[in-house]
Amino acid sequence: MSLISPPPHHDIYSIEDLAQLIHDLRAVNPRARIGVKLVSGAGVGIIAAGVAKAGAHVVTISGFDGGTGASPLTSIKNTGLPWEVGLRDAHNTLLRSGFRRRVRLRVDGGFKSGRDVVLAALLGADEFGFGTAALLAIGCVMARQCHLNTCPAGIATQDEKYRERFAGKPEMVMTYFKGVATEVRELLAKLGARSIQEIVGDVERLKFRTPRAASIFGDLLDSAEEHASPSLAPIDDYLGINVELDHVLIGTKARKVRRHFSIANSDRSVGARFSGELLRRSWPAAPGRSFDFEFRGSAGQSFGAFLVPGVNFRLVGEANDYVGKGLSGGRIAITAGPAASRRGDVLAGNTVLYGATRGELYIAGRAGERFAVRNSGALAVVEGIGQHGCEYMTAGVVLVLGPAGTNFGSGMTGGLSYVLADALAGIAYHGEFLEPEAISEFEQECLRRVLSEHFMRTGSPRAEMLLDPLHASALVRLAPIHRAVSIEETWSAALGPLEKPEAMPVGALSRLLVESPLVPVA
């Protein structure tokens, strides 16, 4: 099924995947609150317990009601259960599993009044989400055409003709929430409570209106006994290389820094914490400052996640899933020597460059499935990929110098991809999104520039071969049929000022990659 707008975290298939994402987010911004939203439904409590165990700060239970009208009708009318059911299930399950004190429960789904807030608190909620009612307070008319850019109230549109109609003021929303707060205070006074916190989970103050309701929803008011919180491994396990990188950042003020490290697959999210701290300390970045780090070994998940401009990673070895997740301007090169490139060794796992916005990635080997999924600006060179390559890609440039699996380019609406002409017949790409086209002289020059960069950073014999003038037409373009940005603009945005690395003779580079042992270098 072709989806132009897929689920926002399309790579989450298990609690372990979610835990890794939370780990990445904690690394790049330790001070942020991390929340996970779950649809109210049967068994949502078990999922909420897994989310708490994964390290989230907030679990949101979202009911079937509410919404702003941007969703399709089937999603509005046929998705989820009432928030009361999911909230109570989550609250009780978290109590039984001992995780309730580790997270705050938030609930939303058509909240309108102070009564809704108090009722949700009694059922176990700590926080409350208002969406539709707040929009109505500022002038939304629920025309349900948010996605068409023709909002008659001038809210969900960038069209100046409609925006002139917008008459909303912040005071409207303030007045509405003051009214909600007043009603909450009055209801708390009737209950004899001084704050919301005093009544959280106190279902003994509730009763059903009718015997029929009690027979159907009797379990809703069941209470669970709170268990002691289980002992878990520390959430902030950013040891090893991450700490060493932090020491580099703290201990030097040099404009150009170079370091070498050995790396193991237990080293996760390497680069995320460093990039986040670098931005917080020196944003905007000082011009000309760079950090060049070389790693040897097998990298863990999310190698180079959120890497920012001026930070360059080079890995001699292999990497797990999520390489370059959220890449934000940094540069990553992965190689295991010319022999590995010739054999087509897999040097990177699945879901590489997930959600990248800018930066460069060079892999002198193959990668797994979902390569460049949701890429929206990064430049990448890889020598073979699995299924679902360039899925939902919106910008950026991807060169595939080898085979590609099925479902290539599904939902791809922007950016450019280039594949080998000889491999095109074996690539099951989406004809309704993409079409193969011959490349122009402008593109040939851009490709030569990128292939030269790939060769200099990885020593790839494939890149060396394609740089031969005899192979100038070896690549073809697979690009969206209906693209909004020109080829020149896409290349200009993706290339930027490519910095040439220090030149090294090919023979010397090959010997370095093949002969160097994977041990720390002084």
Quick check: 126 and 103 in contact, CB under 8 A? no
Distance linking the first and last C-alpha atoms of the chain: 52
**What integer pLDDT is reported at residue 472 of this predicted model?**
74
- The domain limits of the chain are 31-137+169-221, 255-515
**What integer pLDDT is reported at residue 261 of this predicted model?**
94
Mean pLDDT (the chain, rounded) = 88
Q: What is the CATH number of domain 31-137+169-221?
A: 3.20.20.70
**What integer pLDDT is reported at residue 498 of this predicted model?**
56
Q: What is the DSSP string of 207-261?
A: --SSHHHHHHSGGGG---PPPPPPP---S----THHHHHHHHHHH---SEEEEEE
Q: 118-161: per-residue pLDDT in tens?
A: 999 999 999 999 988 999 999 999 887 887 889 999 998 989 99
Residue located via tokens 């999922």: 47
The two structure tokens encoding residue 396 = 């950026």
Quick check: 364 and 345 in contact, CB under 8 A? no
The two structure tokens encoding residue 124 = 């176990």
Beta-bridged to residue 398, according to DSSP, are 380, 417
Task: Compute the distance between CA of residue 50 and CA of residue 94 in angstroms, rounded to an integer.
Answer: 9
For residues 45, 48, 53 and 55, what is the CA-based torsion angle, rounded to 10 degrees?
-160
CATH architecture of 255-515: 3 Solenoid (2.160)
Cis amide prior to 505 (ω within 30 degrees): no
For residues 163, 164, 168 and 169, what is the CA-based torsion angle, rounded to 10 degrees?
110
Q: Which residues of 130-141 are buried (b: 16+ CB within 10 A; e: fewer)?
A: bebbbbbbbebe
Q: 390-411: per-residue pLDDT in tens?
A: 999 999 999 999 999 999 998 8
Q: Is the pLDDT of residue 383 over 50?
A: yes
Task: Compute the distance between CA of residue 115 and CA of residue 25 in angstroms, rounded to an integer.
Answer: 35
Q: 364-375: per-residue pLDDT in tens?
A: 999 999 999 999
